[in-house]
Amino acid sequence: MTEEQKELSGKIFNPRNPQLKAIKRVAHNLCSDYNRTYEDDVEERGEILSKLLKSKGENVYFQGPIYFNYGSHTTIGDAFFGNYNICISDDAEVIIGDHVMFGPNCTLVTPEHPLIADERRYMTDENGELFGPCFAKPIVIEDDVWLGGGVTVCGGVTIGKGAVIGAGSVVTKDIPANTVATGVPCKVVREITEEDSIKKKPWLFDTQE
């Protein structure tokens, strides 16, 4: 297996491997290009994202700045909105559905390292060279999910369709569809019901003639 194949299959890999470093260098440079654009550089931003991401749907928007580790491991559906300062460490695969919203300062983190310090320091590859071992778990964010500002999603997590994650939460386990979940670690608070409709909150509307 190549190091990228190991990485995407959840096995220990060498993040210093030349193949992986080359992929990351391209992604980091494309992120820098994106971050130097203006909001009205719509066509240029779209072209950069097409080069950066594995695939993207229609109307994918990042306010910027953005930070991807690989980019080529991330798939984004239609009508995505990402606020300021989005970081996606996509060593494993990241799949984001349609009509997903990220608040500012959201982070998706797929990679992990050994918990035992000696194991974290180094391993030996097939050439006898030392490297700091890493492994990664995928993240899936289904359709219509809203991540509040400052949310961190850890590897191995699936967030179900229509779920809302409260600001500042750290998501370490799967979140069911159509629920509100908050906290560190993030836990389900309740289901989302018709009582949450803005139609039940007339004070939100301008009723002046």
Predicted confidence at residue 208, as pLDDT, reads 63
**Catalytic annotation present for 113:** yes
156 vs 180: CA distance, rounded Å: 19
> Tens digit of pLDDT for each residue in 129-153?
888 999 999 999 999 999 999 999 9
47 vs 182: CA distance, rounded Å: 35
Q: In what order do the strands lie in the sheet with 55-56?
A: 55-56, 74-76, 94-96, 139-141, 158-159
Pick the catalytic residue: 28, 73, 99, 113? Answer: 113
pTM score = 0.94
Predicted confidence at residue 122, as pLDDT, reads 86
DSSP alpha helix (H) spans, 36-156: 42-52, 117-121
Predicted confidence at residue 45, as pLDDT, reads 98
Predicted confidence at residue 209, as pLDDT, reads 53
Cα-based distances in Å from 92 to 20, 64, 136, 138, 209:
12, 22, 5, 5, 54
Burial 163-175 (b: 16+ CB within 10 A, else e): bbbbebbbbeeeb
pLDDT by 10-residue block (mean), the chain, 209 residues: 95 94 98 97 97 98 98 98 98 98 98 93 84 96 98 98 98 98 98 94 80
- The structure tokens listed for 68 are 């991807």
